[in-house]
């Protein structure tokens, strides 16, 4: 049985006088790696950390953007003898995770709807933030949440089970105020909304009949429709729910302005449509699960091989969805000092941010999640986090990733950010002066101390970026908040070999 003490050393950082030890405690406090394209993020510090985490026995989740990431991780796992723990979810494998089944098993009733709404809206909003910044409009968000909520409830009430296909068909067939005659009239799914309500009607009628028989004595003499309605709604939950559903669709949703409605419908249906296509449908929506987020707690490494570069939005949606469900699962456990850490790995991490990331990151330490996010620069994150208020949000989010590694970069904003994080140090300045007096020249020199940036922003431009022309050496500054290195400062220069072998 492996035991994971927080003080277990993972990395020894070579110092001039004394070495520093970077431990599991630092890993669970999160890592952010910055560097320009080709600076050595993936093959230098990224690969190095991955091998350290794997070797230490961590479980983990790997999200992918580039098609070659799967092969790289297979190599990493082979190098440290973890290949038996690697589970690849891809079109070529039969590893399935059915998210609806998973959420249904965990929740009942209203809790299920709420949790599903939370998952789905987080993914939908993460996508929309990137493309249009629509989420700035609070009305749009509310309408989307309510639609999600009611479609899930309608599906559940009518069929006793939620399915992506049914949700999609229902959303597509909700009547409009002015019916568009071009919509195919007799296609099966154009009536899905009506059919669902027909089912609900049948169900509610039978529930009411049963209830009336059981309460015959109590109901005798009540002939006021409103009073009957009140008692029936209080006693028969399905009846009450049906009334809420009708109210939402007929009084709120159908009368929405065409513009708002089309934005909401487009986002929701667009998302569901992407889920309905293979391989995402077969991997996450239709087959029974044989892999679950909790498997990482036993050391599994789940790699989602739906690289965004190949699968675009479909790959991003599916991965953000899995990531969020995974984060929630990891948060539910109650770790003690021996519990196995799990890593959350995202190279080109800007693709996978969602609105709850900052909150989850803030508690990652106590749930022993070792986040490693890799991206080129700060502006990469702005667009994916908070739109116009991006900068503030991103910086406070980065504050929750305690160790940062900065590689060669030409982005001024990131270099300035790094330089300011590293802080100032006292520099002795010698100023020479001369004054001409009466007939003679006197020279004077003054020493004064002045604060200067410990590392100026330009220094990051010339760091080594690996490849044979640098003898495969990648340079980077590692910075740690709150806990100085042995040299007394909060940063230290490190070298990573692209040939590192544990």
Ligand X SMILES: Nc1ncnc2c1ncn2[C@@H]1O[C@H](COP(=O)(O)OP(=O)(O)O)[C@@H](O)[C@H]1O
Residues that bind Mg ion (CB under 5 A): 41-42
Among 8, 115, 190, 472, contact with ligand X (rule: CB under 6 A): 472
Tokens describing residue 315: 């790959």
Q: Which neighbouring-strand residues pair with 404?
A: 32, 479
Please give the residue whose beta carbon sits closest to Mg ion in the complex: 42
Nearer Cβ to ligand X, position 21 or 473? 473
Distances (CA, A) of 61 to 56, 444, 452: 15, 64, 41
- Which of these segments, 131-139, 254-262, 390-398, 464-472, binds ligand X (CB under 6 A)? 464-472
The reply to whether 465 sits near ligand X by the rule CB under 6 A is: yes
Q: Which is nearer to Mg ion, 43 or 135 (CB)?
A: 43
Smallest distance from Mg ion to CB 3, Å:
34
Q: Which residues pair with 61 in a beta bridge?
A: 302, 344
Element (H, E) at 479: strand 473-480
With CB cut-offs between 5 and 8 Å by kind, which of ligand X, Mg ion, none does residue 466 bind? ligand X
CA neighbor of 352 nearest in space, from 401, 319, 399: 319
Residues 196, 151: contact at Cβ < 8 Å? no
Q: Is 30 in the site for ligand X (CB under 6 A)?
A: no
d(CA 210, CA 208): 5
- Residue 306 CB, shortest distance to Mg ion, in Å, is 18
Q: Which is nearer to Mg ion, 42 or 419 (CB)?
A: 42
Unique residue bearing structure tokens 């002795």? 428
Stretch near ligand X under the rule CB under 6 A, chosen from 192-200, 260-268, 326-334, 463-471: 463-471
Strand 369-375, strand 441-453: pairing: unpaired
Beta-strand relationship, 342-347 and 369-375: parallel
Nearest to 395 by CA among 378, 373, 416: 378
Q: Does 400 bind ligand X (CB under 6 A)?
A: no
Q: Which stretch binds ligand X (CB under 6 A): 180-188, 255-263, 382-390, 466-474?
A: 466-474
Q: Which of residues 479-498 bind ligand X (CB under 6 A)?
A: 498
Answer for which of 27, 29, 44, 248 binds ligand X (CB under 6 A) is: 44
- Select from 37, 177, 222, 461 the one that contacts ligand X (CB under 6 A): 37
Task: Using CB atoms within 10 Å of the CB of residue 41, give its burial: 0 to 12 exposed, 13 to 18 middle, 19+ buried.
Answer: buried
Of ligand X, Mg ion, none, which one does residue 400 interact with (CB within 5 to 8 Å by kind)?
Answer: none
Please tell me what DSSP assigns to residue 406.
E
- Which entry of Mg ion, ligand X, none binds 472, CB below 5 to 8 A by partner kind? ligand X
Contact 152, 146 (CB under 8 A): no
Of 145, 149, 98, 100, residue with least CA distance to 121: 145
- At residue 452, what are phi and psi to the nearest 5 degrees? -140, 160
- Relative to beta strand 86-89, strand 441-453 is unpaired
Identity of the residue, 39 or 350, whose beta carbon is nearer to ligand X in the bound complex? 39
Q: Exactly one of 30, 40, 293, 315 binds ligand X (CB under 6 A); which one?
A: 40
Report residue 493 as tokens: 């220069």
Q: Which is nearer to ligand X, 40 or 386 (CB)?
A: 40
Q: Among residues 45 and 371, whose Cβ is nearest to ligand X?
A: 45
Specify which residues 444 forms β-bridges with. Answer: 433
Is 373:357 a contact under the CB 8 Å cutoff? no
Closest approach of ligand X to the CB of residue 442, in Å: 56
Indicate whether 461 belongs to the interface with ligand X (CB under 6 A). Answer: no
Instruction: Tell me the window of 36-44, 156-164, 270-278, 281-289 that interacts with ligand X (CB under 6 A).
Output: 36-44
Query: Could you tell me the smallest distance in angstroms from the CB atom of residue 376 to Mg ion?
Result: 9
- Pattern 416-455, binding to ligand X, x per CB under 6 A? ----------------------------------------
What part of residues 256-285 is at the interface with ligand X (CB under 6 A)? Answer: none
Residue 311 C-beta-side C-alpha neighbours within 13 Å: 25
254 binds ligand X (CB under 6 A): no
Binder of residue 60, out of ligand X, Mg ion, none (CB less than 5 to 8 A by kind):
none
Least separation in angstroms between residue 78's CB and ligand X is 15
Pairing of strands 403-406, 473-480: antiparallel
- Minimum CB separation of residue 207 from ligand X in Å reads 60
Closer Cβ to ligand X, 42 or 135, answer by number: 42
Task: Say how many C-beta atoms besides its own lie within 10 A of residue 352's C-beta.
Answer: 24
For residue 377 the two structure tokens come to 């620069």
In contact, 63 and 319? CB cutoff 8 Å: yes
Residues that bind ligand X (CB under 6 A): 35, 37-44, 465-467, 472, 498
């Amino acid at each position: 049985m492996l035991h994971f003490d927080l003080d277990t050393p993972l990395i020894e950082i070579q110092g001039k006088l004394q070495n520093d030890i970077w431990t599991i405690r630092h890993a669970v406090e999160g890592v952010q790696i910055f560097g320009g394209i080709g600076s050595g993020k993936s093959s230098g510090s990224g690969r190095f950390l991955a091998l350290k985490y794997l070797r230490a026995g961590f479980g983990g989740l790997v999200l992918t953007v580039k098609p070659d990431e799967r092969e790289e991780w297979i190599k990493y796992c082979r190098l440290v003898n973890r290949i038996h723990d690697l589970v690849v979810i891809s079109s070529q494998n039969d590893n399935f995770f059915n998210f609806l089944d998973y959420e249904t098993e965990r929740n009942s009733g209203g809790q299920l709807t709420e949790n599903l709404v939370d998952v789905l809206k987080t993914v939908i909003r993460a996508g929309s933030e990137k493309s249009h910044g629509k989420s700035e409009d609070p009305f749009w968000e509310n309408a989307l949440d309510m639609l999600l909520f009611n479609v899930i409830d309608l599906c559940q009430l009518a069929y006793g089970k939620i399915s992506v296909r049914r949700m999609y068909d229902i959303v597509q067939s909700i009547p409009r105020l002015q019916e568009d005659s071009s919509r195919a009239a007799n296609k099966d799914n154009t009536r899905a909304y009506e059919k669902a309500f027909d089912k609900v009607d049948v169900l509610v009628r039978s529930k009411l009949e049963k209830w009336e028989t059981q309460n015959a004595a109590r109901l005798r003499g009540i002939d006021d429709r409103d009073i009957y309605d009140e008692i029936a709604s209080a006693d028969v939950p399905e009846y009450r729910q049906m009334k809420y559903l009708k109210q939402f669709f007929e009084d709120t949703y159908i009368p929405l302005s065409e513009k708002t409605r089309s934005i909401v419908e487009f986002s929701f249906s667009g998302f569901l449509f992407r889920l309905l296509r293979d391989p995402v449908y077969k991997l996450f929506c239709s087959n029974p699960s044989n892999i679950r987020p909790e498997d990482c707690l036993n050391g599994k490494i789940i790699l989602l091989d739906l690289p965004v570069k190949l699968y675009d939005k479909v790959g991003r949606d599916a991965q953000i969805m899995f990531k969020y469900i995974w984060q929630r699962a990891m948060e539910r456990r109650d770790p003690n000092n021996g519990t196995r850490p799990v890593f959350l790995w995202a190279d080109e991490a800007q693709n996978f941010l969602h609105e709850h990331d900052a909150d989850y990151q803030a508690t990652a330490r106590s749930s022993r999640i070792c986040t490693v996010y890799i991206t080129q620069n700060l502006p990469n994150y702005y667009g994916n986090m908070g739109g116009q208020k991006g900068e503030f949000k991103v910086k406070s989010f980065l504050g929750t990733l305690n160790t940062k590694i900065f590689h060669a970069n030409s982005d001024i904003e990131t270099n300035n950010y790094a330089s300011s994080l590293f802080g100032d140090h006292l520099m002795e300045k010698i100023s020479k002066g001369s004054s001409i007096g009466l007939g003679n020249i006197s020279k004077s020199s003054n020493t004064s101390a002045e604060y200067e940036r410990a590392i100026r922003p330009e220094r990051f431009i010339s760091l080594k970026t690996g490849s044979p022309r640098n003898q495969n050496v990648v340079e980077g500054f590692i910075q740690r908040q709150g806990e100085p290195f042995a040299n007394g400062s909060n940063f230290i220069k490190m070298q990573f070999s692209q040939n590192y072998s544990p």
